[in-house]
Amino acid sequence: DAGVIQSPRHEVTEMGQEVTLRCKPISGHNSLFWYRQTMMRGLELLIYFNNNVPIDDSGMPEDRFSAKMPNASFSTLKIQPSEPRDSAVYFCASRAGLVNEKLFFGSGTQLSVL
Amino acid sequence: AQSVTQPDIHITVSEGASLELRCNYSYGATPYLFWYVQSPGQGLQLLLKYFSGDTLVQGIKGFEAEFKRSQSSFNLRKPSVHWSDAAEYFCAVGFTGGGNKLTFGTGTQLKVEL
Protein backbone atom coordinates (compact mmCIF):
# COMPACT_ATOMS: atom_id res chain seq x y z
CA ASP A 1 0.00 0.00 0.00
CA ALA A 2 1.28 3.49 -0.81
CA GLY A 3 0.23 4.89 2.54
CA VAL A 4 -1.74 8.07 3.10
CA ILE A 5 -1.25 10.35 0.11
CA GLN A 6 -1.53 14.10 0.40
CA SER A 7 -1.35 16.72 -2.30
CA PRO A 8 0.06 19.16 -2.96
CA ARG A 9 3.25 18.75 -0.95
CA HIS A 10 3.80 22.50 -0.92
CA GLU A 11 1.36 25.33 -1.58
CA VAL A 12 2.17 29.00 -1.75
CA THR A 13 -0.73 31.36 -2.23
CA GLU A 14 -1.74 34.93 -1.64
CA MET A 15 -4.04 36.14 1.06
CA GLY A 16 -7.67 35.93 0.01
CA GLN A 17 -7.21 33.01 -2.36
CA GLU A 18 -8.97 29.70 -1.99
CA VAL A 19 -6.80 26.74 -1.01
CA THR A 20 -7.77 23.09 -1.36
CA LEU A 21 -5.75 20.33 0.25
CA ARG A 22 -6.34 16.74 -0.75
CA CYS A 23 -5.98 13.40 0.97
CA LYS A 24 -6.27 9.78 -0.07
CA PRO A 25 -6.42 7.50 2.98
CA ILE A 26 -5.18 3.95 3.11
CA SER A 27 -7.65 1.57 1.52
CA GLY A 28 -9.85 -0.10 4.11
CA HIS A 29 -9.34 2.54 6.79
CA ASN A 30 -12.63 3.85 8.12
CA SER A 31 -11.44 6.93 10.03
CA LEU A 32 -9.76 10.01 8.60
CA PHE A 33 -8.27 12.94 10.48
CA TRP A 34 -7.04 16.39 9.48
CA TYR A 35 -4.38 17.95 11.73
CA ARG A 36 -2.62 21.29 11.57
CA GLN A 37 0.90 21.73 12.89
CA THR A 38 2.48 25.06 13.84
CA MET A 39 5.38 26.01 16.04
CA MET A 40 3.14 27.95 18.37
CA ARG A 41 0.26 25.50 18.80
CA GLY A 42 1.80 22.14 18.00
CA LEU A 43 -0.39 19.46 16.43
CA GLU A 44 -4.07 20.37 16.47
CA LEU A 45 -6.93 18.16 15.40
CA LEU A 46 -9.16 20.07 13.01
CA ILE A 47 -11.78 17.49 12.08
CA TYR A 48 -12.23 13.78 11.79
CA PHE A 49 -14.50 11.49 9.81
CA ASN A 50 -15.75 8.02 10.57
CA ASN A 51 -17.12 6.07 7.61
CA ASN A 52 -17.10 9.29 5.57
CA VAL A 53 -19.25 11.12 8.12
CA PRO A 54 -17.84 14.14 9.99
CA ILE A 55 -17.86 13.26 13.69
CA ASP A 56 -16.08 16.14 15.39
CA ASP A 57 -15.25 19.44 13.74
CA SER A 58 -14.78 21.40 16.94
CA GLY A 59 -11.16 22.03 16.03
CA MET A 60 -11.95 23.83 12.80
CA PRO A 61 -10.79 27.36 13.55
CA GLU A 62 -13.45 29.35 11.71
CA ASP A 63 -16.03 29.26 8.98
CA ARG A 64 -13.31 29.84 6.42
CA PHE A 65 -12.33 26.20 6.90
CA SER A 66 -14.39 23.35 5.52
CA ALA A 67 -13.75 19.66 4.97
CA LYS A 68 -15.49 17.00 2.95
CA MET A 69 -15.20 13.29 2.46
CA PRO A 70 -17.36 12.37 -0.53
CA ASN A 71 -16.21 8.74 -0.49
CA ALA A 72 -13.99 6.37 1.42
CA SER A 73 -10.94 7.13 -0.71
CA PHE A 74 -10.85 10.91 -0.82
CA SER A 75 -11.08 13.94 1.43
CA THR A 76 -10.51 17.65 0.99
CA LEU A 77 -9.77 20.50 3.36
CA LYS A 78 -10.64 23.89 1.95
CA ILE A 79 -9.72 27.34 3.20
CA GLN A 80 -11.63 30.26 1.67
CA PRO A 81 -10.46 32.96 1.92
CA SER A 82 -6.97 32.13 3.11
CA GLU A 83 -5.05 34.35 5.54
CA PRO A 84 -1.35 34.51 6.49
CA ARG A 85 -2.11 33.00 9.91
CA ASP A 86 -3.28 29.85 8.14
CA SER A 87 0.32 29.13 7.18
CA ALA A 88 1.18 25.74 8.67
CA VAL A 89 1.75 22.10 7.81
CA TYR A 90 -1.51 20.25 7.35
CA PHE A 91 -1.50 16.51 7.92
CA CYS A 92 -4.03 13.92 6.97
CA ALA A 93 -4.09 10.63 8.85
CA SER A 94 -6.18 7.50 8.59
CA ARG A 95 -6.91 4.54 10.80
CA ALA A 96 -8.67 1.21 10.71
CA GLY A 97 -10.81 0.61 13.75
CA LEU A 98 -11.04 2.48 16.99
CA VAL A 99 -8.90 4.76 19.14
CA ASN A 100 -6.51 2.02 20.22
CA GLU A 101 -5.37 1.43 16.66
CA LYS A 102 -2.39 3.01 14.93
CA LEU A 103 -2.75 6.29 13.04
CA PHE A 104 -1.02 6.44 9.67
CA PHE A 105 0.05 9.92 8.65
CA GLY A 106 0.64 11.41 5.25
CA SER A 107 3.72 13.51 4.55
CA GLY A 108 1.79 16.72 4.99
CA THR A 109 1.11 19.85 2.94
CA GLN A 110 3.26 22.86 3.73
CA LEU A 111 0.97 25.87 3.23
CA SER A 112 2.34 29.38 2.99
CA VAL A 113 -0.12 32.26 2.67
CA LEU A 114 1.59 35.50 1.72
CA ALA B 1 -11.28 17.40 28.54
CA GLN B 2 -8.38 15.09 27.93
CA SER B 3 -4.96 16.70 27.76
CA VAL B 4 -1.34 15.71 27.32
CA THR B 5 1.69 17.50 28.70
CA GLN B 6 5.22 17.11 27.47
CA PRO B 7 7.18 19.37 29.80
CA ASP B 8 10.44 19.29 27.85
CA ILE B 9 10.40 21.27 24.61
CA HIS B 10 14.02 20.48 23.75
CA ILE B 11 16.38 17.78 24.98
CA THR B 12 20.02 17.25 24.01
CA VAL B 13 21.84 14.01 24.73
CA SER B 14 25.14 12.54 23.66
CA GLU B 15 25.17 9.54 21.38
CA GLY B 16 25.27 6.38 23.46
CA ALA B 17 23.69 8.03 26.47
CA SER B 18 20.33 6.99 27.87
CA LEU B 19 17.17 8.94 27.14
CA GLU B 20 13.90 9.59 28.92
CA LEU B 21 11.16 11.78 27.49
CA ARG B 22 8.35 12.73 29.82
CA CYS B 23 4.64 12.61 29.17
CA ASN B 24 1.75 13.24 31.54
CA TYR B 25 -1.94 13.04 30.74
CA SER B 26 -5.10 14.09 32.47
CA TYR B 27 -8.39 12.21 32.41
CA GLY B 28 -10.23 9.94 34.80
CA ALA B 29 -10.58 6.82 32.71
CA THR B 30 -7.95 4.32 31.59
CA PRO B 31 -6.24 5.84 28.60
CA TYR B 32 -4.84 4.56 25.38
CA LEU B 33 -1.33 5.97 25.18
CA PHE B 34 0.96 6.39 22.20
CA TRP B 35 4.36 7.72 21.28
CA TYR B 36 4.93 8.97 17.75
CA VAL B 37 8.13 10.22 16.14
CA GLN B 38 8.42 12.84 13.41
CA SER B 39 11.51 13.23 11.27
CA PRO B 40 12.01 16.54 9.43
CA GLY B 41 9.61 16.98 6.53
CA GLN B 42 7.75 13.79 7.35
CA GLY B 43 4.51 12.74 8.93
CA LEU B 44 4.35 11.07 12.31
CA GLN B 45 5.25 7.40 12.74
CA LEU B 46 4.08 5.20 15.61
CA LEU B 47 6.82 4.06 18.01
CA LEU B 48 4.70 2.17 20.51
CA LYS B 49 1.34 2.10 22.23
CA TYR B 50 -0.30 0.96 25.44
CA PHE B 51 -3.92 0.14 26.09
CA SER B 52 -3.92 -2.80 28.52
CA GLY B 53 -1.80 -5.51 30.08
CA ASP B 54 1.87 -5.16 30.91
CA THR B 55 2.61 -1.55 31.79
CA LEU B 56 6.05 -1.71 30.18
CA VAL B 57 5.71 -1.75 26.42
CA GLN B 58 8.36 -2.26 23.79
CA GLY B 59 8.38 -0.39 20.53
CA ILE B 60 10.37 -0.08 17.37
CA LYS B 61 13.94 1.20 17.16
CA GLY B 62 14.76 0.02 20.69
CA PHE B 63 12.34 2.35 22.46
CA GLU B 64 10.20 1.40 25.44
CA ALA B 65 7.68 3.21 27.61
CA GLU B 66 6.15 2.59 30.99
CA PHE B 67 2.59 3.42 32.00
CA LYS B 68 2.34 4.58 35.61
CA ARG B 69 -1.28 5.11 36.57
CA SER B 70 -0.45 6.65 39.95
CA GLN B 71 1.59 9.35 38.25
CA SER B 72 -0.57 9.68 35.12
CA SER B 73 2.62 9.27 33.14
CA PHE B 74 3.83 7.41 30.08
CA ASN B 75 7.53 8.21 29.75
CA LEU B 76 9.55 7.09 26.74
CA ARG B 77 12.98 5.59 27.27
CA LYS B 78 15.91 4.30 25.31
CA PRO B 79 19.05 2.89 26.95
CA SER B 80 21.49 4.06 24.27
CA VAL B 81 20.63 6.82 21.82
CA HIS B 82 21.84 6.78 18.22
CA TRP B 83 22.42 9.90 16.11
CA SER B 84 19.55 8.80 13.86
CA ASP B 85 17.14 9.18 16.79
CA ALA B 86 17.28 12.96 16.45
CA ALA B 87 13.68 13.93 15.71
CA GLU B 88 10.58 15.31 17.36
CA TYR B 89 8.66 13.00 19.66
CA PHE B 90 4.96 13.28 20.41
CA CYS B 91 2.97 11.65 23.16
CA ALA B 92 -0.74 11.12 22.46
CA VAL B 93 -3.72 9.95 24.47
CA GLY B 94 -7.14 8.65 23.61
CA PHE B 95 -10.00 7.19 25.59
CA THR B 96 -12.95 4.97 24.85
CA GLY B 97 -15.86 7.32 24.97
CA GLY B 98 -13.49 10.13 24.05
CA GLY B 99 -14.89 10.27 20.57
CA ASN B 100 -12.23 8.06 19.01
CA LYS B 101 -9.84 10.97 18.69
CA LEU B 102 -6.26 11.33 19.83
CA THR B 103 -4.96 14.36 21.65
CA PHE B 104 -1.29 15.06 21.04
CA GLY B 105 1.22 16.75 23.28
CA THR B 106 3.23 19.69 22.00
CA GLY B 107 6.24 17.52 21.27
CA THR B 108 9.83 17.21 22.47
CA GLN B 109 12.62 18.00 20.04
CA LEU B 110 15.54 15.62 20.56
CA LYS B 111 19.03 16.62 19.52
CA VAL B 112 21.84 14.06 19.60
CA GLU B 113 25.41 15.20 19.97
CA LEU B 114 28.10 13.06 18.43
Nearest by CB: B43 against A55, A102, A105 = A105
Residues of B with Cβ-Cβ distance to A105 under 8 angstroms? 43-45
Q: Does A34 touch chain B (CB under 8 A)?
A: no
Q: Is the pLDDT of residue B8 over 70?
A: yes
Q: What is the pLDDT of residue B28?
A: 63
- Percent of chain B whose pLDDT exceeds 70: 95
Q: What is the pLDDT of residue B97?
A: 67
Interface contact A50-B98, CB threshold 8 A: no
pLDDT tens digits, residue range B79-107? 999 999 999 999 999 877 666 678 899 99
For residue B87, CA distances in Å to A6, A80, A93 come to 22, 33, 19
Interface contact B46-A99, CB threshold 8 A: no
Nearest by CB: B51 against A42, A100, A107 = A100
pLDDT tens digits, residue range B38-62? 998 888 999 999 988 889 999 999 9
Q: Which residues of B47-75 are buried (b: 16+ CB within 10 A; e: fewer)?
A: bbbbbeeeeebebeeebbbbbeeeeebbb
Where is pLDDT greater, at B8 or B2? B8
For residue A9, CA distances in Å to A5, A23, B12, B74 come to 10, 11, 30, 33
Interface contact A99-B107, CB threshold 8 A: no
List chain A pLDDT tens, one digit each, 114 residues: 689 999 999 999 999 999 999 999 999 999 999 999 998 888 999 999 999 999 989 899 889 999 999 999 999 999 999 999 999 999 999 999 777 788 999 999 999 999
Q: What is the pLDDT of residue B85?
A: 96
